[in-house]
Amino acid sequence: MRPQATCRRALCFAGAAGNKERNMPATSMEELVSLCKRRGFIFQGSEIYGGLQGFYDYGPLGVELKNNIKAAWWRANVYERDDMEGLDSSIIMHRLVLRHSGHEATFSDPMVDNKKNNKRYRLDHLVKDQKADVIAKVAAHMGADPENFPALVAALNADPAKASEALRASGVRDAFSGEVGDWTEPKPFNMMFKTTIGPVADEESYGYLRPETAQGIFTNFKNVVDSTSRRLPFGIAQIGKAFRNEITPRNFIFRVRELEQMEIEFFCTPGTDEDWHAHWLEKRLSWWEAQGVPRSKIEILDVPKEDLAHYSKRTYDLMYDYPTLGHEEIEGIANRSDYDLGSHTKSQSELNLVASVTENNDSIAKLTIPHPDTNKPVVPFVIEPSAGVDRALLAVLSEAFTKETLENGNERIVLKFRPHLAPIKVAVIPLARNKPELVELARQIKSDLQQLGLGRILLEDSGNIGKAYRRHDEVGTPYCVTVDFDTIGQNEGENADLKGTVTIRDRDTLQQQRVAISDLSGWLQAKLK
């Protein structure tokens, strides 16, 4: 049995749980991983040198699927709205960006191990879960106020050796065993990738690979406002790579160290943030639906206060029910209040910030925009719908994966992608490979269809017709166009009127119909929109 959902508190189930008729979903991750490798969707990173944990490469079909998902997102969130701008900011960022964003502090949580049972805990979580008298002892040992927990954590984090003594001297218990633990010295785990900039690696010449694309949006807030004359409310969208040094990358492309994000930072007037938060929740759910990830399989988690990230006022996590993983986060929609722009702006004290930010004497920009009512400068609130491309791809793949038993008893694997996401749109197949007339005409049709800009069109002239159909089922090609002897008018008599027509075979229904070559472009354009 697989582990059940890790959900803590479900706000609601969006939509009725209409269980769609399905022969069989992917039951194991291995099955998906195997298909992905066999057909060229996803490969292990650095594979020929033994692989590298938490890194994956997208193959010929994977890159198409990924590009299609990103294009669908961009279309829905940038082109089809009037209040959005796009951005593509750099991956390596100034260390001060990640310092003032709060990541430098919160991305390096010290961890301690209990040598008795080899359990590992975050130091602050471990101390927080102790009884009051134990916390008091720890605080006394550290010379900190037991009532001020953040200060206590700061003291513990600052001095690992002393923290270690405090844990031992205070009888800190292991939450799992309930016994007093034999604690190691806290070890920092840096979750951000650091890199040196320039040829000389010295103390100060380093930067970070961004752990989220969002920071590039915040640091360009003023540039975008100044260059586009945007007023509130408006948003900035960005798709790009982000890097997190996860302790335990797991579950194929679900938790990886190099990931791609599709992020929106939507800037609005303080006080309107809750309405916009609801707006984006709705928008995002309907987008997922359009990608073939139904609402009935997404649980909306209203993240409990104590689990919120350091920047968040309130967050909805969209928990998709992965057939292979149970409910896991596919997108987070956070209300980041004025935390980010407030953290990165100069003159913080003049701006009536709501969020508690740390002092910033480094920024040279005031990140304000005129209030729509008063025209006075204001730091806007931010709603952030942030989705992982890799997780989206895994969800789309999971939903599309179908194993069917045909009427003749044979089994087939089909990826029932929505047509706009399918890596290959159309396969053009000559019925026999050794008839140059068929192959030539198929090649010509392929070339003509390619000009339509629908995406990838493939000339499929290997194997036999049955194998070609099955192969394209397995990669989710919605339509196969077959050129046969009727097409080239080599069947005398009864089928003479079929000259100039081809068959189109539907991936899901297996039905075929004849369409004139002259009508083919229009027919496919209508279906693949």
Partner RNA sequence: GCGGGAGUAGCUCAGCUGGUAGAGCACUACCUUGCCAAGGUAGAUGUCGCGCGUUCGAAUCGCGUCUCCCGCUCCA
> 264 to 303, contacts with RNA by CB under 7 A?
none
368 vs 482, beta carbon nearer RNA: 482
Check residue 248 for interaction with RNA (CB under 7 A): yes
Q: Which of residues 334-353 bind RNA (CB under 7 A)?
A: none
Q: Which stretch binds RNA (CB under 7 A): 18-26, 87-95, 100-108, 368-376?
A: 100-108
Q: Which of residues 45-74 bind RNA (CB under 7 A)?
A: 50-54
Site size for RNA (CB under 7 A): 75
| Residues contacting residue 150 through CB under 8 Å, at least 6 positions apart | none
Q: Which two structure tokens, joined as six digits, stand for 172? A: 């800190």
Among 10, 9, 18, residue whose Cα is nearest residue 297: 18
Query: How near is the Cβ of 344 to RNA at its closest, in Å?
Result: 15
Q: Which of residues 122-151 bind RNA (CB under 7 A)?
A: 122, 125
Q: Which stretch binds RNA (CB under 7 A): 71-79, 116-124, 197-205, 275-283?
A: 116-124
Check residue 120 for interaction with RNA (CB under 7 A): yes
Check residue 176 for interaction with RNA (CB under 7 A): yes
Query: How are beta strands 369-370 and 377-378 bridged, if at all?
Result: antiparallel
Are the C-beta atoms of residues 410 and 416 closer than 8 Å to each other? no
Check residue 358 for interaction with RNA (CB under 7 A): no
Site string for RNA, 226-245 (x = CB under 7 A): ------------------x-
Other C-beta atoms closer than 10 Å to the C-beta of 35 total 18
Check residue 106 for interaction with RNA (CB under 7 A): yes
264 forms beta bridges with 237
Query: How near is the Cβ of 42 to RNA at its closest, in Å?
Result: 11
Q: Which of residues 462-501 bind RNA (CB under 7 A)?
A: 462-467, 469-471, 473-474, 482, 484-485, 490-491
**CA-CA distance, 73 to 86, in Å (whole number)?**
12
Q: Which two structure tokens, joined as six digits, stand for 518? A: 């002259």
Check residue 7 for interaction with RNA (CB under 7 A): no
Q: Where are the beta strands (DSSP E) in 7-47?
A: 10-13, 42-44
Give Cα separations from 319 to 13, 64, 322 (angstroms): 10, 25, 9
Buried-state track 459-482, b at ≥16 Cβ within 10 A, e below 16: bbbeeebeebbebbbbbbbbbbbb
378 vs 439, beta carbon nearer RNA: 439
Q: Which two structure tokens, joined as six digits, stand for 177? A: 């065993």
Query: How are beta strands 84-87 and 234-243 bridged, if at all?
Result: parallel
Q: Which of residues 503-522 bind RNA (CB under 7 A)?
A: 503, 505, 510-512
Check residue 164 for interaction with RNA (CB under 7 A): no
**CA-CA distance, 253 to 260, in Å (whole number)?**
11
Query: How near is the Cβ of 385 to RNA at its closest, in Å?
Result: 15
Check residue 211 for interaction with RNA (CB under 7 A): yes
Query: How near is the Cβ of 370 to RNA at its closest, in Å?
Result: 30
From candidates 18, 82, 118, 229, binder to RNA by CB under 7 A = 118
**CA-CA distance, 218 to 386, in Å (whole number)?**
14
Check residue 403 for interaction with RNA (CB under 7 A): no
Place of tokens 């929505």: 418
Check residue 119 for interaction with RNA (CB under 7 A): yes
From candidates 41, 58, 73, 121, binder to RNA by CB under 7 A = 121
Reported as type and span, the H/E element at residue 103 is: helix 103-106
From candidates 67, 104, 109, 416, binder to RNA by CB under 7 A = 109
DSSP conformational letter for 75: I
Q: Which two structure tokens, joined as six digits, stand for 384? A: 């952030």
Q: What are the helix and strand counts (H, E) for the chain? A: 16, 25
Q: Which stretch binds RNA (CB under 7 A): 121-129, 130-138, 390-398, 440-448?
A: 121-129
95 vs 231, beta carbon nearer RNA: 95
**CA-CA distance, 424 to 356, in Å (whole number)?**
50
Residue 72 CA from chain centroid, whole number: 14
Query: How near is the Cβ of 228 to RNA at its closest, in Å?
Result: 27
Buried-state track 19-29, b at ≥16 Cβ within 10 A, e below 16: eeeeeebbeeb
From candidates 371, 416, 433, 499, binder to RNA by CB under 7 A = 433
Check residue 263 for interaction with RNA (CB under 7 A): no
Answer whether the bond into residue 377 is a cis peptide, omega within 30°. no
Query: How near is the Cβ of 157 to RNA at its closest, in Å?
Result: 12
From candidates 228, 356, 410, 525, binder to RNA by CB under 7 A = 410
29 vs 369, beta carbon nearer RNA: 29
